[in-house]
Structure 1
């Protein structure tokens, strides 16, 4: 939508300029330099038009600034301040260069759909403009001076910083590879097992690269809160060595908002009222007063200056050296930071992408779009007595959905939905008109929610290519949906990675590497390294049982009992804390029921669905308690306890992996399978095997977290013996041994002795 609006806006600009006659001089470049102590400030731009009108010996000059808008022009009653300021800058520069005493400023607003025009005009003397412009430069000067002086301080400190630890095996190679990648402006994929110290091994060379002016800013991107904390600690460790670097962690608006409901308007939020009057002082104060910019520091500053904490953090991010944030701040077309990732941005950033295996599914979500027929119909019902025009547009789209529904039994792959996208664009116009007018909060909320879904659908439709599959689906609950499914997100991710001077993807489970390369990058010459684990292999006992299976055809009460028996024997053999990971909640509960009936002298925890943050903390706190019995936590593979948690030493001494982690068969997965099969690639592996193995590796990775940890990993599924699964194992798993329920105790007793 942004690019489409820009194209329409550019066309309208040219149309207006051509219609203005011979007095109108279009696209005039303007530039001025203002000397300051130690540096110069250069202000430059291009005026849309300079109108030079001569009559009876008098020359009148007006600077014209054209803005394309989607708002109804009746709602624009005065020029937008930032637009007026832009035009006044051009007027001051032009008047000064031409020796004019007076000059006019004109703001031309043009509606992108109707092409209706509304103009605002003001006259200024050169003295008025000079006073205004000098004040503007004085305000900006302190920011420019801060930036120049801070950069000198920062780079001097970077030169002195050394790697903060003794290098572990493989760690120096990782750090060197990261620096080389940034130097050569390339991409690097790192498979680095737990213990390599991935975070410090990527952050340290990235910091060094900033000091060498190879990148302007570091973006450390993560999928989970816990990994953000690890990144913060890495920067803190280097600051303890004398590094001067400003680092901010961005927290989601919903989490950091001070209000019970996130209503971002001055009427509902006291922090939004007058925010822009105070925010610059809040930002500057924080920049010069300290380098710690985590969530609590941002909240304190926002309270002190009575500003929105989320918007404050975004404004501060412009001036810092490193930003720690979720993937969506860079890659999501609806949520990315436009100040960094839009046309005209400098694009010299270093991207460090942690837990990069998560970016495949996140990428698919970010670049896909869905609309439900029932949502369109429900909104039509709500507005039919309030707004006939909007109800009619909703009805038009609903009819097209109804036609598709009649043709669809389960799901249907479609070649094109351009006719629907066209109707949706008409619907968007009506929704925007409705939202401009006063209405009840409840109905407004309903329109707004669907508006964003429709806008996303239209935006994604604009970028459809061979990486997409369009399909309709009649879901089990009777709801009918239309989906633009991004099967391979690599090309869309590339649009944002091009803002990078170097990109590093890293994870403890980035296997097989060719799978992640094909879904996260479009380049054919990306680097890849496999960092050896620094932990002694003899510290982990890896066993596999062949007499159990999680396949649907094999599921029965006797099979659940067999799984429960394995878990019980493991917990009885050595007292300690264990986790058992299952392919689904249902399978977990079946085995749990069998386990609690016969397991005596073993404490048990069961992961519940939709646990909140406090419940998750309480679950993990049980692994810290002193107890007389063994503890077994029943968890779900791919859930909150299978990734990103650190239970070191004897807090966890064993993990049972029940099944191969294969995702459940569903239409999305089958579409992925068909997509890669049609391209001569192994569709089953891309849709099921590799995502499943990743879950297995993540779950197993909870056991050995430090050089001194010892533990047992038990793989329970006969399919682990197949070659396609074994080929996906990491090198550290080469010594996997086969056991049975009868021999399990012998293996474990021998290992623990």
Structure 2
């Protein structure tokens, strides 16, 4: 029996009914929660016989089209498609209405097939979430007209559907025959690959601590690709927190024969690299709509040809995607967003799955994909998760908007802005006596005062109404403030979902300007992202999180929202202890109070080891201030030791030049900040790096915020110091030390500079294969 290709109504219409320009001009829109509430409000008004969420399905050719119509009124013979909006309906793009009508007509055809109706009234019900009013656009269609429209949409999709089915079959055949890139696995790499394949096969999540040098990227990617046909996986997402992770994944694809040159046949596996919009934009000075940018004008008219060219290319790294996009006069970034629908493997930043508005997660939910995740350098997901679900508002920015508000906007926004400022100042006065720590301007809040919350909501509503009447410049301070307030409001919803114990509310006073004027920042800080990340893991068939530093296991399970029974494997290192000499300088303290006294002995230690074995060294410090003071002291006491240093706010090219300075023939000491861009993700094998000095335990700075985080961790997990300070600090140390030994042929040394490294509880967190010498 011929198999059928399942397609959702929304997917079908997105493919066949979109046309015209790409238009990213901001228009106020309901949030997802407001949209759900709007649908419920509309259907609650209907009569008792009204049917909600009607599951529909129909076969046309080789397609099985499925979906859920919003509502049906049997008494009136009216099928309703409900859409929420805010503002002026007439200001909504006409192409949106055409798409909505196409979806409603397809649902109408399916309902006529299912129930034998001769005709239906098709209604688009637009619900204004602010006013609660409905606007209905309705028209009666015969069964024949709806059927003809449905067949036309399916015919438009049919050729693409046939290609997709052929591609899936060819992909699965190729992946079944896929062979490892090398003649044999590295030591420990086979165990790594087998554990990944087993996780994918059993539909489980897995934490993998695998040492640097074992070949984690290809060792995880290869078995997951092999599992795709065996477990009927639709998509694999390789997620990473660093650009270097994307580059390694692309190199692994090349090694597996899945990244051919443009002149070669397309690979069986379609792969896509997603990069940030700022990096991909061809015309950053232009707005994203057809009236301003030539790559947005007619975007959807030229998309079908570009889409076909892209799938024929197959391997879409940044350069290939840009080449296809520009050949068809399209924006590379938004072509990449479109191709995420059609590629088997997507390499992207972790926010594409875990952020509150993550695109890959949304696509997986929309298409009901069977998805597997590979999360590279997964230790970073703790901090990234907190950042994704935190928010901050600055009264200084509010005041700036008030001072510079154009006269044309004053009538609409002056009162809402003043109302927010008034409630904010009242909060500042109320909290002046609830300050903590050394920072006299810091205070913890029990929540956001109701009056301030209402004022913020009213400000959002006022800006929404204003934007209906006139556009607001995309770079304006008002629009930036509006987005900040929107995000803050959504994070308040996230806090309610996660639970108040997982969030910290605080306010910090600071001096603004030279006249001693004070302002404040209001923060909603995520402490533990686990409840919010857990739903994203639940949506994946399998997820493998891997890193050289994922210990202790319970810390990462607790922070990331993984089940307490999630397997955790610690793979043995492929190195011998004799390759690495690890020394603890227990006679030196790098505590803040001891830093001045530590400069001379650290400078002398670096100079002595460099004299004993000239070569390339990295030295890590807890801050730029500490680094700069050590650099000056080293130049003063040992001027013959070549020294260079990481600078604050280095550009991408400066970072590349810094890494390029580690040549096999080079000699000198490079100073860097622990936890920064040079503390992980750079590969310096052989003589490119022969040693590292780590003059810090890696602990976060003790300040009022971190102390509140420690207290909250103690409440949640019983050990605030380890969760807030020690575990993250040692992770940074081990990551930095991992730059030294990269291959079985490397030889090097590490100097851990602080007396606390000698403590048993700290030594227990260091890699087991290290041979420690005091």
User: Is TM-score (shorter-chain normalized) higher than 0.5?
Assistant: yes
Q: Does 1:453 align with 2:484?
A: yes
| 2:246 aligned residue | 228
Q: Does 1:402 align with 2:402?
A: no
| 2:13 aligned residue | none
Question: Are the equivalent residues in 2 in contact too, given 1:468–1:488 (CA < 8 A)?
Answer: yes
CA shift digits 1:621-648 (9 cap, x unpaired) = 2222745xx3111111111111111111
Question: Are the equivalent residues in 1 in contact too, given 2:69–2:81 (CA < 8 A)?
Answer: no
1:680 and 1:10 map into 2 onto residues whose CA distance is 40
Within the candidate set 536, 539, 544, 2:576 is matched to 536
Q: Does 1:325 align with 2:348?
A: yes
Within the candidate set 420, 426, 443, 1:412 is matched to 443
Within the candidate set 468, 472, 494, 1:463 is matched to 494
Correspondence 1:455-494 to 2 at 5 A: 455-464=486-495, 465=499, 466-475=501-510, 478-494=518-534
Stretches of structure 2 that go unaligned for 5 or more consecutive residues are: 1-29, 261-266, 436-440, 513-517
Q: 1:554 to 1:232 in 2, by over 3 A?
A: same
1:240 and 1:323 map into 2 onto residues whose CA distance is 13
SS in structure 2 at match of 1:393:
helix
| 2:19 aligned residue | none
Q: 1:34 to 1:655 in 2, by over 3 A?
A: same
2:655 and 2:93 map into 1 onto residues whose CA distance is 52
Question: Are the equivalent residues in 2 in contact too, given 1:348–1:501 (CA < 8 A)?
Answer: yes
1:445 and 1:484 map into 2 onto residues whose CA distance is 24
CA shift digits 1:693-713 (9 cap, x unpaired) = 111111111111111111111
Moved more, 324-333 or 369-378: 369-378
Q: 1:460 to 1:320 in 2, by over 3 A?
A: same
CA shift digits 1:422-461 (9 cap, x unpaired) = 332222111111222225637x722221121111111111
| 1:652 aligned residue | 689
| 1:441 aligned residue | 473
Q: Does 1:614 align with 2:653?
A: yes
Alpha-carbon shift at residue 543 of structure 1 (Å): 1.0
Question: Are the equivalent residues in 1 in contact too, given 2:352–2:361 (CA < 8 A)?
Answer: no
Correspondence 1:192-203 to 2 at 5 A: 192-203=210-221
Moved more, 293-302 or 709-718: 709-718
1:340 and 1:445 map into 2 onto residues whose CA distance is 31
Alpha-carbon shift at residue 99 of structure 1 (Å): 6.7
| 1:64 aligned residue | 80
1:226 and 1:26 map into 2 onto residues whose CA distance is 48
Question: Are the equivalent residues in 1 in contact too, given 2:258–2:315 (CA < 8 A)?
Answer: no
Within the candidate set 703, 720, 723, 1:666 is matched to 703
CA shift digits 1:634-688 (9 cap, x unpaired) = 1111111111111111111111111211121223311210012224522111111
1:340 and 1:130 map into 2 onto residues whose CA distance is 28
Q: Does 1:211 align with 2:229?
A: yes
Alpha-carbon shift at residue 323 of structure 1 (Å): 0.8
Alpha-carbon shift at residue 317 of structure 1 (Å): 1.2
Moved more, 24-33 or 702-711: 24-33
Alpha-carbon shift at residue 272 of structure 1 (Å): 1.0
SS in structure 2 at match of 1:623:
coil
Within the candidate set 471, 475, 499, 2:539 is matched to 499
Question: Are the equivalent residues in 1 in contact too, given 2:233–2:371 (CA < 8 A)?
Answer: yes
SS in structure 1 at match of 2:65:
strand
1:600 and 1:552 map into 2 onto residues whose CA distance is 26
Question: Are the equivalent residues in 2 in contact too, given 1:607–1:634 (CA < 8 A)?
Answer: yes
Question: Are the equivalent residues in 1 in contact too, given 2:361–2:536 (CA < 8 A)?
Answer: no
CA shift digits 1:40-62 (9 cap, x unpaired) = 43344325235665xxxxxxx55
Question: Are the equivalent residues in 1 in contact too, given 2:211–2:571 (CA < 8 A)?
Answer: yes
1:631 and 1:74 map into 2 onto residues whose CA distance is 66
Alpha-carbon shift at residue 722 of structure 1 (Å): 1.4
| 1:273 aligned residue | 297
Question: Are the equivalent residues in 1 in contact too, given 2:39–2:83 (CA < 8 A)?
Answer: no
Alpha-carbon shift at residue 416 of structure 1 (Å): 2.4
Give the TM-score, by structure 1 length. Answer: 0.90
Q: 1:567 to 1:397 in 2, by over 3 A?
A: same
Q: Does 1:578 align with 2:578?
A: no
1:729 and 1:100 map into 2 onto residues whose CA distance is 71
SS in structure 2 at match of 1:471:
strand
Alpha-carbon shift at residue 559 of structure 1 (Å): 2.5
SS in structure 1 at match of 2:525:
strand
| 1:511 aligned residue | 551
Alpha-carbon shift at residue 102 of structure 1 (Å): 5.8
1:480 and 1:509 map into 2 onto residues whose CA distance is 37
Q: 1:551 to 1:402 in 2, by over 3 A?
A: same
Give the TM-score, by structure 2 length. Answer: 0.88
CA shift digits 1:364-402 (9 cap, x unpaired) = 100111112222233233337423342222222222221
SS in structure 1 at match of 2:650:
coil
Q: 1:299 to 1:520 in 2, by over 3 A?
A: same
Question: Are the equivalent residues in 2 in contact too, given 1:190–1:529 (CA < 8 A)?
Answer: yes
1:680 and 1:127 map into 2 onto residues whose CA distance is 64
SS in structure 1 at match of 2:583:
strand
Count of residue pairs brought into register by the alignment: 718
SS in structure 1 at match of 2:662:
helix
SS in structure 2 at match of 1:32:
strand
1:94 and 1:492 map into 2 onto residues whose CA distance is 38
SS in structure 2 at match of 1:611:
coil
CA shift digits 1:168-218 (9 cap, x unpaired) = 222222222222222232221111111211112211221122111253211
Q: 1:540 to 1:27 in 2, by over 3 A?
A: closer
| 1:245 aligned residue | 269
2:478 and 2:761 map into 1 onto residues whose CA distance is 49
1:97 and 1:583 map into 2 onto residues whose CA distance is 68
| RMSD, aligned α-carbons | 2.4
SS in structure 1 at match of 2:131:
coil
Q: 1:13 to 1:241 in 2, by over 3 A?
A: closer
2:509 and 2:468 map into 1 onto residues whose CA distance is 35
SS in structure 2 at match of 1:350:
strand
| 1:305 aligned residue | 328
| 2:288 aligned residue | 264
CA shift digits 1:58-90 (9 cap, x unpaired) = xxx554322221233353485711101011213
| 1:135 aligned residue | 152
